[in-house]
Amino acid sequence: MQTQTTGKVRGIIANLVTIEVDGPVAQNEICFIHLGDTQLMAEVIKVAGKNAQAQVFESTRGLRVGDHVTFNGHLLEVALGPGLLSSNYDGLQNNLATMEGVFLKRGEYTEPIDRKKRWDFEPLAQKGDTVTAGDWLGQVMEGWMVHRIMVPFVMTGTYTIEEITSQGSYTVDQKIATLKDGDGKSHEVTMVQRWPVKRAITAYKEKPRPDKVMETGVRTIDTFNPIAEGGTGFIPGPFGSGKTVLQHALAKQAEADIIVMAACGERANEVVEIFTEFPKLIDARTNRHLMERTTIICNTSNMPVAAREASVYTAITICEYYRAMGHRALLLADSTSRWAQALREMSNRMEELPGQDAFPMDLPAIISNFYSRAGIVKLNNGQTGSVTIIGTVSPAGGNLKEPVTESTQKATRCFYALSQNRADRKRYPAIDPMDSYSKYLEYPEIMSYYAEKVGPDWIGKILEGKNYVRRGKEAYEQINILGDDGVPLDYHISYWKSELIDFIILQQDAFDDIDASTPMERQVYMYSKVIDVCRMQVAFEDFEECSAFYKKLINLFRQMNYQEFHSDEFKRYETEIEEHLTQKVQA
Per-residue pLDDT tens digits for 493-502? 999 999 999 9
Predicted local distance difference test score (pLDDT) of residue 285: 75
Predicted local distance difference test score (pLDDT) of residue 274: 76
Q: What is the C-alpha separation between 117 and 219, in angstroms, rounded?
A: 42
Burial class of residue 88 in the structure, from the number of CB atoms within 10 Å of its CB (0-12 exposed, 13-18 middle, 19+ buried): buried
Predicted local distance difference test score (pLDDT) of residue 427: 95
Report which DSSP code applies to 339: H
In 3D, which of 348, 341, 199 has the Cα closest to residue 264? 341
Predicted local distance difference test score (pLDDT) of residue 301: 64
Phi, psi for 486 (deg, rounded to 5): -90, 0
SS3 content of the chain, % helix, strand, coil (to 5): 35, 25, 40
| Cβ neighbours for 460, distance < 8 A, ≥ 6 positions apart | none
DSSP-H helix ranges across 85-228: 219
Report which DSSP code applies to 50: T
Q: What is the C-alpha separation between 311 and 115, in angstroms, rounded?
A: 23
Contact in structure between 385 and 328 (CB atoms under 8 Å): yes
* Residues facing 46 on adjacent strands: 53
The dihedral region occupied by 326, where left means phi > 0, alpha psi between -120 and 50, and beta the remainder, is left
- Total-model pTM: 0.95
- Give the domains, in start order, of the chain with CATH numbers: 6-75 (2.40.10.170), 119-191 (2.40.50.100), 219-438 (3.40.50.300), 458-586 (1.10.1140.10)
Task: Name residues of the chain where pLDDT drops below 50.
Answer: 1
Predicted local distance difference test score (pLDDT) of residue 1: 41
